[in-house]
Each structure stands twice: as structure tokens, then as C-alpha cells.
Structure 1
């Protein structure tokens, strides 16, 4: 795929007006208030991970409406008397589940306490599966997750998923050996969208790393790409021809641009200029709006991968994330 979006010089200045519901803050405050009526941790159990230097706990946290969400919590084997460590909460890409305990250990190997959060109802498309069902559901939808309950913001699948992400921040702050004042959130694609949302909704977050974030500027994405998951919306609207405004209104409640405006912490994003899943202008829309509604602007950085698509910088970018976060939120 050749570069298909705006030239990079225009992307760096691209800050479009994006529809934001008048009750955006009130709606999310009510949803999180209801979720926080439940203790964030439902259970914590040790698990054998086959590793010598990293210890893992099987965590069940209370997500949307107190519903169970599974997660792996890994950290370097504790040394008696050591100080609490900074934590990294990781959210996963579309179709992935938390997999196996030894699958995602980069952040723990770097010295952080690491919570990798399962994705409700997903885990059947990539990796080694997930363990969290989605007990809610409403209305007809196209195959996939993006259009589940999409006619009503209160019933939308991503309302539940974003709430799970915010509650994961609450949960990690209560896990053993974690410094609750030093929590970063990280994710790529869908996980990047959830990282932006968690950072916006939980001001305790110290830093956000969102690689090629999904769910930004839906109206623009739908006009530019026919790649999944956006194509799910196209297929849905091809059948439900009069539903466009209702669908776009629902998506505005989970638009990464609207969350980005509220992010207070330092932020590190990435973009691939040949990415048809998360078109570059949608990512820059979020990046250029970062912190515009926060009390004071925070540092923001974006890594641009001119010759890459949705894979972005891949392992090269992970190393850049490690270096960036270590300078701002060291593990110890």
C-alpha cells in the first residue's frame, strides 16, 4: 500500500473539529461510578508460569458493572525489603486475549510490575486465546465487535470494554508490590485506543503509550478505509441504511480524539503512514488534540513510520517505548 492519506506536513497540523456529545463527561462519570461500587479486585491467585525470574498472579478484576475480567499480573521475583515498583497496564489488539502467562513478559523483564488485561468476548482470532466472556449484548450487529449495541451508547460493546480498562487501573494500584502513584498504560491498535481512554478517565495515570491507536475520528476513518474493523460498520450500514447518524453518535462516545483531549499525562504515540486499519490522519487527529481540555498541557511524542502499515514500528517501536517510559516512569 502506498501512502494514501494527507502528506506528513499536513498531518502534523491536522486538528479537525470532531463531534463530541454534550453529555460525554457526565455519561462516563455515571458509568464509572456504577462500576466503582464494586471492589476492583475479585480474586488474586499465584500461577506457575515456567519462568525462573518472573512471578505471575492470575487476577480477576471487576470491570463494567462489576463483571469479571481476567488478567495476568507479572513482575520480577521480589527481593525482600525492595521498594514498590512502577506498574504498566497493557491492553490488547483486536481479537486477542490475554493468552498464556509467559507470552507477554517484556515489561516485567524490564523491571515493571505488569498487568495484561484480557479483552471481554475476544481472544478467538490471534495469539493463544482469552478467558473473559462478555455477558452483555444487544441488538443485531455485523460479525465482529464494533457494531455490537451500536445504536445506543449505553448498550455499545466498547462502553463495557473502556470501563474494563479504567477499572484495570484501579485494580493494579491495589496489587502487591505496586507503587500506586506510578502507573502507565500501554497498548497497540485497539489496545492503544483503550490506553488513551484509561488515561483520560483515570487521572492517576502517570504516562500513556498508544501505538497506532484504533477508534479515532470514526467519520474520517469510514471515509478513507474499507479495512476491518471499520468495514464492520460499513457492512452494518449497508443493511441498516437509516442508522448512520445513530451509529456515529454512539461511536463519538468512544472516539479516541475525545479521550485524547482529556489526557493529562505525558503521551507517546505512533503511526504508520501506510496503515489502512488506523489511517494516519485519524491518529494525528488524536495526537494533535492531546491534552487540549486538560488543566495544563503535558509532553507528547509521536513516532512516524513512513514505510509501515498497521504493524508500525514493531519491535523497534517497543524498544523506543521502553526507553521513553524509563526516562519518565522508571521501574524503581
Structure 2
């Protein structure tokens, strides 16, 4: 097998190379306090799409900064007792997906919610007003603003936490049996959400994005999903005079720095040929998780469909029915 990254024995102990800001914990405690003060004004509107065994709703709520955030929600018809739920997060630039893709979980007795991230392919609002470059991607949106709380992914992480809290509070949901899941950006959001909502029961993250930004840069992989890092340096800091400060700023939204807060059971899947989200960046987060965890390796696969992974995630989530 050819290697695109470190040998496996090194991956298993790698601790990341991006910095962790000194005030990281305070930053996120203050961010959660801000979220706690938000009145979500949740709306559940019957969706145009319906299915024989499901009730489907367009769900709207207010996030931090006043943005109106959208999610799909589907639940079993005629549920007689509180049941588990899963909350799904989509890949970068995408959206919450088709209703039909949620029905396997509904048929099995789950409520399912699927978030639209701000400013991407769905219906959620992006109300951010920031100084500095916003070209090419969301990682750098807010990176040059004097206020580090203007980072767009901070808002996205808080949106995941708010949606999960709303689902947990629903009368027909058992708040102790709520899982989170997603791949790529959705995988990064899954880990961030599990860190911010420690009551989450389990998390399934496939090839997570948003981890160990400096490692991605040092591997010359600031392309595709990470290309805005390259554009940032070319446009804002062409001599890299402020490189350390830039990566420290991104440290606030680096999932590896949030990972130690995770308390739930975690399942991760990684393709060892991944050149979009390199394996070492994923292991930087995985190795910092102290709760029960496993990683399933696909040695010959990159950032792509992983055969059987969806079925394994489904069985992992079915464990909440037991």
C-alpha cells in the first residue's frame, strides 16, 4: 500500500501540529453562554414531503447572531413512548439532503433531524459581518476580524449544539438516546457537536474535516475543501509574517482542540489514502478523545464513498434501541 501520510503506528500516537489558543476554554464557555441566552423561537411546519410511516416537518430556529436556521425533521407516526433520535450533518457546501434518505431511521423508530449549515447549499441564513477576506471558503471567514468570535465555523458549531438541544427537548424523544452523525464537514461538525453537548449518546464521524489546519498546510494539501487557506496567505499575508497568529486564530475552530471535551461513545471511519482531509489531521482529533472510541480504517480509499460504512453507522445507531 502506498502512503500519502504517516505510517499507521505514527498516526495512532500523533497529537496534532496546530496550536491551541491559551484562552480556548474560556472562548467556548463564553460561546455556550451566548447560546444559552438565545431564544430559539422554534417553528415546526408540516413539510410538503410526507411518507406513510413518517411525519415530516420544516424546522426553523434562531441561532447566535439572530440567523434563521433550517433543518429537516422526520419522526415516526403514532409513537407511543419516547424514542431515540439521530441528528445528521452534511458535507461542505451541501445541504440537509433528501427526505427519503432519513426514512430508514424513522422506520426503525428514530426521530431524525438534518441541519442546513449557514451560507452553504441549503436554507439557513448567513448573517455574518466580518472584516477581512471571505474569498473561496468558510474556514477563513472571520480569521482577520479583530473579534475571534466572528469565525463563521464558531456559529456553525453552535448551530449543531442548538439543534441537538431542541431535539432532546421534544416530548417524544428520549434525551438520553440522541446520536449525531456525518461525513467530511459533517464528520467535523459531529465531533464538535459531541464536544459542545456532552449529553449526546454517541457520535459517528466519517473522514472528519476541520481538524489540524496546520498539518494540512504543511502537507501542501490546502486545496479542495481547504483551498481558502492558500488564498488567505496569497491575498492577506504573502510573506507569512503572521503565519503563527493565523493558525492560532484557527485553533478556536479546530476540532482536535474540542475533542477532549467529548464524553460519548465515538465511531470514526478513515480512508488512509485521503488527500482532502489527510489521515493525520483526523487522528489528531481521534487521539485526543478520551471516551470509548473506535476507528475503522479503509487502507485503499481516499475522501470518497466507503463501502459498508453507512451500514456500520446504521447498526451503531441502532444500539440506542437496545
- Pair 1:232-2:228 in alignment: yes
Could you tell me how far 1:168 is from its partner in structure 2?
1.1
Contact 2:3 2:273 in 1 (8 A): yes
- Tell me the TM-score normalized by structure 2: 0.92
Distance 1:323 1:103, change over 3 A: closer
Contact 2:203 2:266 in 1 (8 A): yes
Query: Which runs of structure 2 are paired with 1:306-317 in the superposition (5 Å)?
Result: 306-314=299-307, 316-317=308-309
Q: Could you say which residue in structure 2 is the equivalent of 1:280?
A: 279
Larger helix percent: 2
SS state of the match for residue 154, structure 1?
helix
Contact 2:136 2:227 in 1 (8 A): no
Deviation per CA, 1:241-276: give whole Å up to 9, x if none.
244233212210111111111111110111111111
CA distance in 1, matches of 2:230, 2:316: 37
CA distance in 1, matches of 2:134, 2:203: 31
CA distance in 2, matches of 1:103, 1:318: 11
SS state of the match for residue 192, structure 1?
helix
Deviation per CA, 1:126-178: give whole Å up to 9, x if none.
xxxx1112011312222222211112421111111111111111111123411
Distance 1:322 1:100, change over 3 A: closer
Q: Could you say which residue in structure 1 is the equivalent of 2:157?
A: 162
Q: Could you say which residue in structure 2 is the equivalent of 1:214?
A: 209
Q: Could you say which residue in structure 1 is the equivalent of 2:71?
A: 71
Distance 1:223 1:132, change over 3 A: same
Q: Could you say which residue in structure 1 is the equivalent of 2:85?
A: 87
Query: Which runs of structure 2 are paired with 1:186-205 in the superposition (5 Å)?
Result: 186-205=181-200
SS state of the match for residue 281, structure 1?
helix
CA distance in 2, matches of 1:219, 1:105: 39
Contact 2:18 2:248 in 1 (8 A): no
CA distance in 2, matches of 1:151, 1:58: 35
Contact 2:180 2:190 in 1 (8 A): yes
- Pair 1:30-2:11 in alignment: no
Q: Could you say which residue in structure 1 is the equivalent of 2:315?
A: 323
Deviation per CA, 1:262-303: give whole Å up to 9, x if none.
111110111111111110011111111112xxxxxx210101
Could you tell me how far 1:196 is from its partner in structure 2?
0.8
Could you tell me how far 1:229 is from its partner in structure 2?
1.8
Query: Which runs of structure 2 are paired with 1:140-155 in the superposition (5 Å)?
Result: 140-152=133-145, 153-155=148-150
Distance 1:17 1:150, change over 3 A: closer
Name structure 1 gaps, 5 residues minimum. Answer: 124-129, 292-297
Contact 1:40 1:170 in 2 (8 A): no
Q: Could you say which residue in structure 1 is the equivalent of 2:4?
A: 4
Distance 1:176 1:71, change over 3 A: farther
Q: Could you say which residue in structure 2 is the equivalent of 1:134?
A: 126
Contact 2:55 2:76 in 1 (8 A): yes
Contact 2:16 2:256 in 1 (8 A): no
- Tell me the TM-score normalized by structure 1: 0.89
Distance 1:174 1:40, change over 3 A: farther
- Pair 1:182-2:177 in alignment: yes
CA distance in 1, matches of 2:207, 2:103: 21
CA distance in 2, matches of 1:258, 1:299: 18
Distance 1:2 1:109, change over 3 A: farther
Contact 1:142 1:233 in 2 (8 A): no
Name structure 2 gaps, 5 residues minimum. Answer: none
CA distance in 1, matches of 2:34, 2:154: 13
SS state of the match for residue 42, structure 2?
strand
Contact 2:17 2:215 in 1 (8 A): no
CA distance in 1, matches of 2:108, 2:223: 34
- Pair 1:114-2:107 in alignment: no
